[in-house]
């Protein structure tokens, strides 16, 4: 009996990673439905979506720099669009103070920090070092995506309510990490394997 090759296994886990990542990107829909019903984002934070957008932007950039990375490019392009939609929706329903905070975070993190990453890697690093540097950044920021929902834990403990930390998001993040770990393992892309996505 012949087992699948590493390339075939990588494709299977990459495809599953795309499917689960898409579910991760959609997991906050109940949160945004609550915001829509309340006509307010009070009690919810934009930080997880700002960090998730940066993560998707970095992974998209990494996929473009790397060869044969269609599975990484496709899901992170979709992820960028979804996270932007979430942030726009959040801003529309936020208080004036939260709008200013969120827009400041977007400018600082998603525009300035990402712009700096691109400028430094494009103009100061050679091609091989560029892929490696962006790969490490992806690993760090993907871990941040997993840690970002933990910023809500204090509120969950204080209110004794998990309303602000949906189970679906936690479940799909764990499943997603598993799929991308094996994809990274089978493609020998240790940046993806270490990045939890």
Q: pLDDT-derived band of residue 24, with 50, 70 and 90 as boundaries?
A: confident
38's CB contacts (< 8 A; 6+ apart) are: 93
Of residues 19 and 162, more confidently modeled: 19
**What does 12-53 look like in DSSP terms, one character per residue?**
HHHHHHHHHHHHHHHTTHHHHHHHHHHT--TT--SHHHHHHH
- Predicted pLDDT at 22: 93
Please state the rounded mean pLDDT for residues 130-139. 91
Q: How confident is the model over 42-62, as pLDDT tens digits?
A: 878 888 899 889 999 999 999
């Amino acid at each position: 009996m012949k087992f699948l090759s590493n390339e075939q296994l990588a494709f299977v886990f990459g495809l599953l990673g795309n499917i689960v990542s898409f579910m991760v990107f959609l997991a906050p829909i109940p949160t945004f439905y609550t915001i829509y019903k309340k006509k307010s984002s009070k009690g919810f934070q934009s930080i997880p979506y700002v960090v998730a957008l940066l993560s998707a932007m970095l992974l998209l950039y990494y996929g473009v720099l790397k060869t044969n990375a269609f599975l990484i490019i496709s899901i992170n392009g979709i992820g960028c669009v979804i996270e932007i939609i979430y942030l726009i929706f959040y801003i529309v329903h936020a208080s004036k103070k939260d709008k200013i905070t969120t827009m400041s975070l977007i400018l600082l993190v998603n525009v300035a920090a990402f712009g700096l990453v691109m400028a430094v890697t494009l103009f100061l690093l050679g091609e091989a070092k560029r892929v490696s540097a962006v790969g490490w950044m992806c690993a760090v920021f993907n871990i941040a995506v997993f840690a970002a929902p933990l910023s809500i834990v204090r509120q969950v403990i204080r209110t004794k309510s998990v309303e602000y930390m949906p189970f679906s998001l936690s479940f799909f993040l764990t499943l997603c990490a598993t799929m991308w770990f094996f994809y990274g393992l089978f493609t020998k892309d240790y940046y993806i394997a270490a990045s939890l996505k």
